[in-house]
């Protein structure tokens, strides 16, 4: 459940290096809050579409789905529980969660469950392909929206960036290692791996690369820092 891109936004639309208090004081807060929660809502809806498409999920959701095969709880509940479990890994990494981080941990799981309750799984393959394609595109838009709001990374993204900072390894290596690990565990637990998994892996980075500069809220110069 990640939507980060390794490339920084275009000049003038850089993500700022801010602590949680600075994020709230950086300006344009009403617009950023609306953008954050629209993004998180769309993200949860996109996950629901991909699940109902039943053609494969992104690595973290393969893990989430696999867990639901062994415990009697909803998919969204697993997403929320895993989000807070991942946040525990932030402690040794000396990461501080922002409002967006906590909201991410809760809102996405709730909206995913809501989407699954109102959107039925189609039988026709072409409709499932539409669900999967729409899910990936909406997921990219949603990720760019909530990241661009600059109110804190999601739990999984923050763990990745924290490991990069602490280990000195590249974003590519750390992210790939994490996602291969959760994908393998999720598959062993019965998670859905398929065409959609490959499609998501190939499409999400380029899509977010294009969309993130568009949706990144430009903060006052005093709050900006070079990526």
Is 114 a member of any domain?
yes
- Report d(CA 17, CA 79) in Å as an integer: 27
Give, rounded to a whole angstrom, the gap between the first and last alpha carbons of the chain: 22
**Residue 162 has which token pair?**
């924290």
Is 9 a member of any domain?
no
Backbone φ, ψ for residue 168 (5° rounding): 80, 5
What contacts 37, CB < 8 A, 6 or more positions away? 103, 107
Is 206 a member of any domain?
yes
Structure letter (DSSP) for residue 188: H
Is 16 a member of any domain?
no
Question: Based on the structure, what is the number of domains in the chain?
Answer: 1
Is 38 a member of any domain?
yes
What averages of pLDDT result for each successive group of 10 residues across the chain (227 residues)?
48 68 88 96 97 94 95 96 93 88 96 97 96 96 93 89 85 85 95 92 89 88 47
pLDDT the model gives residue 26: 87
pLDDT the model gives residue 209: 87
pLDDT the model gives residue 223: 46
pLDDT the model gives residue 221: 64
Range of the domain at 107: 27-215
Is 7 a member of any domain?
no
Q: Which residue from 199, 194, 212 is spatially nearest to 133, judged by alpha carbons?
A: 199
Is 87 a member of any domain?
yes
pLDDT the model gives residue 70: 95
Rg of the Cα atoms in the chain:
17
Is 37 a member of any domain?
yes
Q: Model-level pTM greater than 0.85?
A: yes
Task: Tell me if 12 sits within 8 A of 215, measured CB to CB.
Answer: no
pLDDT the model gives residue 60: 94
Q: Is 152 left (phi over 0), alpha (psi -120 to 50) or beta?
A: left
pLDDT the model gives residue 166: 85
């Amino acid at each position: 459940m990640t939507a980060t891109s390794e490339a920084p936004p275009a000049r003038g639309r850089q993500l700022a290096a801010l602590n949680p208090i600075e994020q709230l004081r950086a300006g344009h807060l009403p617009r950023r809050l609306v953008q954050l929660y629209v993004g998180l809502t769309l993200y949860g809806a996109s996950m629901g579409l991909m699940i109902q498409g039943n053609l494969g999920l992104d690595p973290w959701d393969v893990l989430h789905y696999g867990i639901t095969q062994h415990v009697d709880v909803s998919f969204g509940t697993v997403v929320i529980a895993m989000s807070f479990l991942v946040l525990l890994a932030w402690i040794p990494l000396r990461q501080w969660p922002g409002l967006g981080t906590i909201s991410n941990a809760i809102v996405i799981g709730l909206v995913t469950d809501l989407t699954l309750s109102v959107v039925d799984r189609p039988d026709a393959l072409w409709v499932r392909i539409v669900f999967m394609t729409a899910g990936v595109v909406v997921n990219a838009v949603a990720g760019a929206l909530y990241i661009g709001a600059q109110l804190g990374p999601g739990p999984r993204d923050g763990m990745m960036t924290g490991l990069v900072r602490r280990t000195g390894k590249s974003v590519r290596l750390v992210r790939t290692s994490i996602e291969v690990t959760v994908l393998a565990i999720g598959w062993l637990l019965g998670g859905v791996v398929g065409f959609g998994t490959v499609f998501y892996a190939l499409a999400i980075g380029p899509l977010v690369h294009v969309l993130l500069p568009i949706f990144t809220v430009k903060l006052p110069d005093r709050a900006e820092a070079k990526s």
